[in-house]
Amino acid sequence: MTRFAAPISEAIWDMKYRFKTPEGAPIDLSVEDSWRRVARALAVVEKNPGAWEQRFYAALEDFRFLPAGRIMAGAGTGRSVTLFNCFVMGTIPDSMAGIFEMLKEAALTMQQGGGIGYDFSTIRPRGAAVHGVGADASGPLSFMDVWDSMCRTIMSAGSRRGAMMATMRCDHPDIAEFIDAKRDPARLRMFNLSVLVTDAFMAAVKEDGDWDLVFERRIFATVRARDLWNRIMRATYDYAEPGVIFIDRINQRNNLNYAETIAATNPCGEQPLPPYGACLLGSINLARLVRDPFGPDAALDEAALDELVAVAVRMMDNVVDASRFPLPQQAAEAQAKRRIGLGVTGLADALMMLDLRYGSEEAARLTGRWLQRIARAAYLASAHLAEEKGAFPLFDRDRFIASDMMERMDPDVREAVARHGIRNALVTSIAPTGTISLLAGNVSSGIEPVFAHSYTRKVLQPDGSRTEEEVVDYAVQQWRARMGDALFPDSFVTAQTLDPLEHVRMQAAAQEWVDSSISKTINCPADIPFEDFKDVYLAAWDQGCKGCTTYRPNAVTGSVLSVGEADPAQVEGGEALHHADKLDRPETLEGNTYKIKWPESEHAIYITINDIVLGGQRRPFEVFINSKNMEHFAWTVALTRMISAVFRRGGDVSFVVEEMKAVFDPRGGAWMEGRYIPSILAAIGGVIERHMIEIGFLDGEGMGAKSDPHLAGYGNGNRGPACPNCGQYAMRMIEGCMTCAECGHSKCA
């Protein structure tokens, strides 16, 4: 019998978490081998590793505890990778040497697979004087462009691209440029952006007061606070960024506010971290702990939850000692505070199994109770670890006990921490679990609602054809097994059917008992009025959230993946209407290189054309034109960039060939292979045309595309953007991160 509840789960394991040789030969022959590998690796640091290996294995078995992907993929492999998910880098000095030293550290961290966060508020604003060189500063946005370029060239461990978060304070003089940065669709693609919003700013917004933009105590400008807030809201309404981080609240409620100041977060926002801070993540699968799902005695097994949490805390604490770190500063920071981020997944499924509607007051109340139970069990487990192994080195009993979270803990927890200390400075966090949720049988992700009860996934077969399989939510699977074809109850809601304020209610209920933060996307309908949209953020502030991220489908961000019938508004004359989205580059591409020897030219021109497969059809994706003739350098570079930019927009790009073939050189063309070619550009256009014909993109010479490959393989309804890994139009926003429903690829994984 297979352990996997769905074919996609086994595919995810094989693609992302199965240990293989560099040549691709499996070392883990089953998922049990993967669990055993991880359990053994994390038990090595114990005095009795054999006994703890068995307990760790039992926690992992049947996907009850889900360590984050880097632990599943890297633990016990001997590879030089970090098991930590995310890092906030050091404070960026306001000097050229310091800035580029930070850039080097970022590259080294990404090389080992870490996502990073940076606060760019420390760089002087554009136009400020640079003393000693007689120049004006270019500002933090210009250096963010450098980081963005670096990130594009770094492949993270395990074929992961680096993910980055950039933050900027709401009082920085360049905050308006930061807010508007992503209005340029080609800029800062490797960054998530968030504004650090202070309590004083929120007070000024509510009072409609003035707001000073300041750098190093110098006031550069004064604006109306509500105008700046509206600018943030409008940008987020239009293209889903920047997010908002309530930074004073984060620092006030931090268990370590006596030892650190936080100004940045990891890429998805669930881990506010100090300079060189690092955190590892793991999730309790609540869906697997429900007894008698959909039955009269349906309930969460809270005793089993307590036991599982205690084992999970110990496993995660051991990761601190078992992991490598890209930089020594990160290792020192992790050892000094031993931060962990234990969270949950499958919350929405668990609520459905109890016939509770996600977003309701009763669901929020029960969510708070479950998260309180997890926090209590986790803090007790960490206190017992401190008794056995010692508290984290920076533990200060009086100041830690006075922290916001500890003041709300039960007396016995406070007494245990006061007596023994605590092993981990911060213990809980709710992270994105998109891929590991798929691994666990497509349980609902994190504390998100169910995205879709089911959807159709296209599976590429060895012969190049595609078959379709249904991907069903885990709770829906359980319903069908017990109830057959009975109609779903009213509790079976999805992310698109919820009111945005119901999302906020659930986030706030969970946040009360999470000492770090929460990665959560509040889905908003495309037609939500702007004033109502702003109310979502004010509700998040008023209800105690530490941040807020929304997603509203529109022409800039792309549609949310549809799982139902076509929207009649999208159909005209029986044909679906779509605009061409910019395609992201997959990790590897296939292509051909062609040689042109232009008569009377000393050097040949080489043209490389790489292709992408979308919807089962191959299409040109990028072009590289090279020549040793330096007279050709400028125009070949320009042509390379412009043609590649057009190709990556998708759609019928055959017009590029026609335009190039029509260019003539007033000095005369040349005869090549029995035909007259009016210019070198026309010759290049001819090569691209022949390539398009050979790959089946064009019907023939002088003809357009066979069909619109941009829509090939795409069914009814609104699609998501194209996935850079599998090419399917199935990207959707989950927990602040674009994730593919077809293959599980995640921008932030």
- Closest alpha carbon to 143 in 162, 155, 117, 125: 125
User: Which of helix, strand or coil describes residue 747?
Assistant: coil
Distance between CA 291 and CA 285 in Å, rounded? 13
Distance between CA 416 and CA 379 in Å, rounded? 9
Distance between CA 181 and CA 598 in Å, rounded? 43
Give the number of other CB atoms < 10 A from CB of residue 47: 8
Give the number of other CB atoms < 10 A from CB of residue 230: 15
432, 519 contact by CB (below 8 A): yes
Q: Exactly one of 260, 270, 333, 622 is catalytic; name it.
A: 270
Residue whose entry in the numeric block shows the structure tokens 């003809």: 703
448 tagged catalytic: no
Residue whose entry in the numeric block shows the structure tokens 């709710």: 430
AA identity, residue 549: T
Q: Considering just the CA atoms, what is the radius of gyration of the chain in Å?
A: 27
Beta strand pairing call for 160-161 and 164-169: unpaired
Torsion sign (Cα): 242, 248, 252, 254: positive
158: alpha, beta or left? (left if phi > 0; alpha if psi -120 to 50): left
Give the number of other CB atoms < 10 A from CB of residue 678: 16
Reply yes or no: is the peptide bond before residue 185 cis, omega within 30 of 0.
no
User: Which of helix, strand or coil describes residue 575?
Assistant: strand
268 tagged catalytic: yes
What are residue 166's DSSP bridge partners? Answer: 118, 193
Burial 257-274 (b: 16+ CB within 10 A, else e): bebbebbbbbbbbbbbbb
Give every CB contact of residue 527 below 8 A, 6+ residues apart in sequence: none
266 tagged catalytic: yes
**CA–CA distance from 56 to each of 47, 602, 605 (Å)?**
14, 68, 60
Q: At what angle do helices 225-239 and 199-207 cross, to 10 degrees?
A: 100
CA 602 to chain centroid, in Å, comes to 49
Q: Exactly one of 192, 266, 318, 610 is catalytic; name it.
A: 266
Q: Exactly one of 268, 524, 545, 740 is catalytic; name it.
A: 268
- Closest alpha carbon to 685 in 713, 708, 667, 665: 665
Give every CB contact of residue 12 below 8 A, 6+ residues apart in sequence: 435, 438, 439, 744
AA identity, residue 620: P
Distance between CA 251 and CA 119 in Å, rounded? 15
Beta strand pairing call for 737-740 and 160-161: unpaired
Torsion sign (Cα): 77, 80, 81, 87: positive
Burial 112-136 (b: 16+ CB within 10 A, else e): bbbbbbbbbbbbbbeebeeeeeeee
Distance between CA 71 and CA 82 in Å, rounded? 8
86, 266 contact by CB (below 8 A): yes
Distance between CA 152 and CA 163 in Å, rounded? 10
- Closest alpha carbon to 622 in 602, 607, 605, 601: 607
Q: Which long-range contacts (CB under 8 A, 24 or more apart) does 149-153 make?
A: 150/103, 150/106, 150/107, 151/106, 151/110, 151/190, 151/191, 152/189, 152/190
510, 430 contact by CB (below 8 A): yes
Distance between CA 444 and CA 734 in Å, rounded? 10
AA identity, residue 17: Y
The residues carrying an active-site annotation are 266, 268, 270
